Amino acid sequence: MQYHQNGFRPGDPDISVTSPDHRARGDRLPDAVDVLIAGSGPAGLCLAAQLARVPKIHTMLVEPKLGPMEKGQADGISVRTMEMFQAFGFAEKVMRESMWINQTTFWAPGADVTLTRFARIQDVPDGTSEMPHVLINQARVHDMFLDIMRNSPQRLAPDYGWKVADLKVDPHATQYPVTVTLESTEPGREGQSTTVRANYVIGCDGARSGVRRAIGGQLHGDAAHQAWGVIDLLATTDFPDWRMKSFVRSPDDGILMVLPREGGHLVRLYVELNNLSEDERAADRGMNHDHIIAKAQRIFHPFRLDVKEVVWWSIYEIGHRLTDKFDDVPEVEVASRAPRVLLAGDACHTHSPKAGQGMNVSMGDTFNLGWKLISVLTGRADASLLHSYSAERRAAAKGLVDFDHKWSRVVGARGEEDTSDQLPRVARAFVDNLPFTCGLTIQYEPSALIGADTHQHLAKGFNMGMRFHSAPVIRLADARPLQLGHTIEADARFRLFIFAPAGDNGGAGSAVASLCEWLQFDPASALRRHTAKGEDLDAVIDTRAIFQQAFDTLDFTAMPTLLRPPVGRYGLCDYEKVFCADLKRGEDVFDLRGIHRASGCVVIVRPDQYVGHILPLSARGELAAYFSGVLRVRG
C-alpha cells in the first residue's frame, strides 16, 4: 500500500481527501449524475466502490430497502472472489472473520442403512490460489464495500428508500440521455416520485429488476419444480462433521448440505424439501422454518440436532434463467450506439444457491464493468468499450447457469451410491467441478481486450483470457516477500509485467532496459500515446519487472527510470515496481508459471485481473496495437 506521495497525511490511509463537490449525507437528491446504480446488493456495491474512488465521477446508488442488510442471503466466497477482494484491500479482513472451508465430507447410507462418511475431499486443490474458499455473512461483504464508499473522495452512501420505477433513453442525446423515475418506498411517502438524469444506469436490482423491465429485457429458462429450505441456526448436535462443509443423504428423506459459518458456532443448512407440481410455487405449501428443521432432523437421523436459535431462514425454488443481452442496445444497432443501460447480477441471471456462485458471479459482473465505465467516463476509452461487457459476462453467466442446471440435479439425485472409485456420485461430480466452483474457469474469448494465443508458450501458466494466477516474488528495494498478483489494485489501471530473460539485470543495453526506454520515451509507445499530459507515468498503464536473479545480486539504482519513476507532486521515487524470483523459499515464479527463461516475455493484465496478452519483449508493434485497440490517444 502506498501513500504520502503528495505530502504527509496523518491518520488512516484508507480515508481519502474529500472531493470538494461531494454530496453530503442528507442533501437533496441530485438532478443529474454520471452513473445511477439500482440496488445495493453485492453487484451494486462492488461497482459503487470502484466508481467512488474517482473524484470526477458522480455516482448515485438507490435501494428500496430502508437500511443496509444485516443477515441472510448468500455466504460463499470463492478463491477467485478473494483475489478480487485483495484488489480492493479487504481480503485479509475477510480471512480473519470468515470460516475457511478446507475439507468437504460426504455422508450416505452404509450397508446397514446407517449414515456413513464415504469421502473426505480437499476443498481447494493445491496450487489453485494463494487464497482460501471462505464462508461469511453477505452483510459483512456489504459492510466492507460500504466502508470503501464512505471513505472515498465522493463519500458515497446509498440513498435508501428509493426504487427505479421507470426509465427512458434518448439515444440521440450526448449528455444525460437516461431519464430515471424514482419512486419512494419510505413509509408514509410510498408512491412519491422524482426524476434523475444519468449518463449511465446500471440495474443491479435483482431477479424482478425494474431496470431490466424498462429496457424490455426478460429472463428465459426453466425451473426444476423442487423446493429447498435454507436456514442459519445455532444448535447442538453429535453429528461429527458439524464444522465441515458436508453433503448428507439419508435413506428416505433426501439430502441436505452443512455449511459451517463464521464465528465458530453458526451453521447454515440447505435442506431438500418437496417436489412441486408444474404450476405450484413453494409459498403455496405454507412451509416455514419448523418444516426445514423437522426435515433436517429426519435426514440427520440417528444423529441428534437440537436447535437453540434460528437466525434466518428462507424457502426457495430452483430455477435457471438468463437474459438475452446485458445492455439496452439491440443487436442491429451495436455498430452505431453504445450502451447506456446495463444489467448485472440477478437482474440478468438466476440459478440455485447450491454451487455457491451467485454472489461471486454477480460481483464478477461489476468488477468487469467498473473499470470500463471509469475508462469511458474519464476519457481514456471510447464508449464502444462498453459493448464488451455484455459479450464477456453473458458468456460467463451462461456457463454458470448451464453448470448449475446439471449440478442441482446431481445433488438431488437418489439411488446412485458408489462409482468405480468408491465415491458417491455427488462426491465425484464435486471433485470434477472444483475448478469451476473455485471461480477459475472463466476464459474470455479473443477480442480487442484479449489477444491471440500466438505467444502463449512464453508464459504457459498465465492462460490467455483467464485470471492472472499470482505467484510469490521478492520486492527488490526492500527484500519483502509478497504475491505478485497483490500489486493489482481496483484502480482501473492496466498492468504491464515484464519478465526478464536469463542473465538480464536491468542495466543499460539489456532487453528490459531497451523495452522500458521505448515505453517511456518513444512517441509510438503505449505509455506516451495513452497517458495524458500532467499524469504520472503509471496513471493508465502500470509497468513492473520481474528478474530471475536473487534480490541481493541486483542494483535497484541501476534499473531503468520507468521502473523507479517520480510520482506525485514532489516527484518522489516509486520503489515498488521491481521484483525478483523467490529463490530462498524455492518458489520461483518463472518455474511456477512456465515463463520462458531464455527470452522472457511481457504479460498484459487488464484492470479486472484477466490476462489480456502475452508478447515477446521485442514485439513493440503488437504491444502498441493492443492498447490502441482499447484506449484513446491522449498523449
% of the chain at pLDDT higher than 70: 94
> pLDDT digits over 602-632, tens only?
999 999 999 999 999 999 999 999 999 999 9
Q: Mean pLDDT, the chain, as a whole number?
A: 93
Q: What is the model's pLDDT at position 438? A: 86
Average pLDDT over residues 276-280: 59
Q: What is the model's pLDDT at position 419? A: 43
For residue 587, the 8-state DSSP code is: B
* pLDDT bucket at 412, cuts 50 / 70 / 90: low
Q: What is the model's pLDDT at position 355? A: 63
Q: Please list, residue by residue across 158-175, b when 16 or more beta carbons sit within 10 angstroms of its beta carbon and e when fewer do.
A: bbbbbbbbebebeeeeee
Nearest-5° angle of CA 344, CA 348, CA 352? 105
Nearest-5° angle of CA 255, CA 78, CA 352? 40
SS3 92: helix
Q: What is the model's pLDDT at position 373? A: 98
pTM score above 0.85: yes
C-alpha to C-alpha distance for 545 and 534, rounded to whole angstroms: 24
The CATH superfamily assigned to 97-135+222-319+414-433 is D-Amino Acid Oxidase, subunit A, domain 2 (3.30.9.10)
SS3 116: strand
Q: Which helix (H) or strand (E) holds 317?
A: strand 305-323
List, in order, residues 6 or more apart from 252 with CB less than 8 Å away.
none
* pLDDT bucket at 426, cuts 50 / 70 / 90: confident
The strand ranges marked E within 90-214 are 99-100, 103-109, 115-122, 134-135, 159-160, 162-169, 178-184, 193-203
C-alpha to C-alpha distance for 315 and 422, rounded to whole angstroms: 33
> pLDDT digits over 194-215, tens only?
999 999 999 999 999 999 999 9
Query: What torsion do the CA atoms of 16, 494, 500, 79 make, to the nearest 10 degrees?
Result: 80
Q: What is the model's pLDDT at position 420? A: 43
**Residue 193 pLDDT exceeds 70:** yes
In 3D space, the residue among 68, 59, 63, 48 whose CA is nearest the CA of residue 19 turns out to be 59
453-628 has the same fold as 97-135+222-319+414-433: no
**Residue 277 pLDDT exceeds 80:** no
Mean pLDDT lowest for which of 276-285, 453-462, 520-529, 581-590?
276-285
* pLDDT bucket at 110, cuts 50 / 70 / 90: confident
In 3D space, the residue among 614, 616, 617, 612 whose CA is nearest the CA of residue 631 turns out to be 612
The correct answer on CATH 3.40.30.20 for the domain covering 453-628 is yes
The correct answer on CATH 3.30.360.10 for the domain covering 32-71+138-219+322-403 is no
C-alpha to C-alpha distance for 80 and 89, rounded to whole angstroms: 14
C-alpha to C-alpha distance for 324 and 339, rounded to whole angstroms: 15
SS3 547: strand
| 40 alpha carbon, distance to own chain's centre | 15
In 3D space, the residue among 433, 473, 444 whose CA is nearest the CA of residue 577 turns out to be 473
> Where are the domains positioned within the chain?
32-71+138-219+322-403, 97-135+222-319+414-433, 453-628
SS3 339: coil
C-alpha to C-alpha distance for 591 and 461, rounded to whole angstroms: 9
* pLDDT bucket at 418, cuts 50 / 70 / 90: very low
Q: What is the model's pLDDT at position 155? A: 95
SS3 331: helix
Q: What is the model's pLDDT at position 286? A: 79
Instruction: Return the half-sphere exposure (C-beta side, CA atoms, 13 A cut-off) of residue 230.
Output: 17
**What single string gives the DSSP state of each residue in 410-425?**
HHH--S----TTS--H
Average pLDDT over residues 401-428: 66
**Residue 191 pLDDT exceeds 60:** yes
The dihedrals phi and psi of 517, each to the nearest 5 degrees, come to -65, -40
Q: What is the model's pLDDT at position 154? A: 92
> pLDDT digits over 67-100, tens only?
999 987 889 999 999 999 999 999 999 999 999 9
SS3 261: coil
Average pLDDT over residues 439-456: 96
Contact 408, 354 (CB under 8 A): yes
Q: Amino acid letter at 99? A: M
